[in-house]
């Protein structure tokens, strides 16, 4: 493995999860989170994602790796488009089911992810437009980073072992979501496993990018109103925006 590839992998395995967890803890401890705060968060997220993706692009081109080997082409258009549509619809249904579950179980509004969503999801037309840019960026860049770069590097390290690339990319993708707590890491790793398998099957990042975008954008648009409606049925002392408890902080760890 090239030394620069190793450094990039270490950064995404160690620094990204740690920085994300620290950022979320600070966000949850903040009593107020304004529209300006959300827009600044969106801007910093977009900047980081594109810088990271650009750095990886620079290094793979420096080593002469063909873009096709990272899934940046669509070798089987019919298969890729079909899988993209089916996978996107499946994730959309899953998000809708999750929101419906929240309505039926108001106590879930106390959960870490729901409280985080209440702070960072868009609330105005301007925020929704900025959120669109965030979700598009995340869908493109994270698929490029984890299903493109990471999956290919470990597949090559394993001497063509496709399974090695699939498993490691899914694990790093899940660990990058350490801020969601242990359950979040496990569920995201499992979802990443599906993304990675589809990437290996179709030979393209297109299905993952499309599904990633649909899943994140749909919940970002629909969740705020649902969270607000549920919050009205839950006492402020239960569903409010207080700082995370010690137990919640331990769960993030």
| Chain segment 50-78, per-residue pLDDT in tens | 999 999 999 999 999 999 999 999 999 99
Residue 118 burial class via C-beta count within 10 angstroms: exposed 0-12, middle 13-18, buried 19 and up: buried
How many angstroms separate the Cα of 126 from the Cα of each of 43, 133, 220, 222, 229? 13, 11, 14, 16, 22
Residue 247 has pLDDT above 70, yes or no: no
pLDDT in tens, 101-157: 766 655 554 566 777 877 888 989 999 999 999 999 999 999 999 999 999 999 887
Question: Cα–Cα distances in Å, from 214 out to 17, 21, 96, 123, 211?
Answer: 24, 25, 12, 19, 5
Return the higher-pLDDT residue of 217 and 105. Answer: 217
What is the rounded (10 degree) CA torsion for 92, 201, 10, 249?
A: 30
Alpha carbon distance 107, 101 (integer Å): 11
pLDDT at 221 over 50: yes
pLDDT value of residue 105: 56
Q: Select the more confidently predicted residue: 247 or 166.
A: 166
Least confident interval from 62-76, 106-120, 193-207, 216-230: 106-120
- Buried b or exposed e, range 39-53, using 16+ CB within 10 angstroms: bebbeebbeebeebb
Instruction: Give the pLDDT confidence score for residue 168 in this predicted structure.
Output: 93
> Which pLDDT band, with edges at 50, 70 and 90, does 98 fall under?
confident
Distance, CA of 164 to CA of 152 (rounded, Å)? 9
What's the pLDDT at 226? 74
Phi-psi map region of 71: left, alpha, beta (phi>0 left; psi -120 to 50 alpha)? left
3-class state of residue 144 by DSSP: helix
Tell me what percent of the residues of the chain surpass a pLDDT of 90.
58
């Amino acid at each position: 493995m090239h030394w620069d590839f190793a450094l990039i992998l270490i950064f995404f395995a160690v620094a990204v999860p740690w920085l994300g967890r620290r950022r979320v803890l600070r966000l949850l401890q903040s009593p107020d989170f304004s529209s300006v705060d959300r827009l600044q968060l969106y801007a910093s997220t977009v900047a980081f994602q594109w810088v990271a993706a650009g750095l990886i692009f620079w290094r793979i081109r420096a080593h002469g790796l063909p873009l096709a080997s990272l899934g940046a082409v669509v070798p089987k258009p019919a298969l890729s488009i079909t899988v993209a549509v089916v996978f996107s619809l499946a994730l959309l249904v899953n998000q809708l089911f999750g929101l419906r579950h929240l309505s039926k179980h108001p106590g879930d509004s106390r959960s870490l992810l729901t409280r985080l969503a209440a702070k960072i999801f868009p609330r105005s037309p301007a925020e929704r437009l900025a959120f669109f840019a965030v979700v598009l960026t995340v869908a493109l860049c994270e698929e490029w980073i984890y299903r493109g770069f990471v999956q290919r590097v470990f597949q090559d390290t394993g001497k063509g072992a496709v399974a090695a690339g699939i498993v490691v990319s899914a694990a790093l993708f899940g660990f990058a979501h350490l801020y969601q707590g242990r359950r979040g890491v496990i569920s995201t790793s499992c979802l990443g496993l599906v993304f990675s398998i589809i990437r290996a099957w179709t030979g393209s990042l297109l299905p993952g990018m499309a599904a990633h975008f649909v899943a994140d954008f749909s919940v970002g648009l629909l969740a705020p109103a649902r969270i607000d409606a549920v919050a009205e049925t839950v006492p402020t002392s239960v569903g409010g925006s207080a700082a995370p408890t010690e137990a919640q902080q331990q769960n993030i760890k």
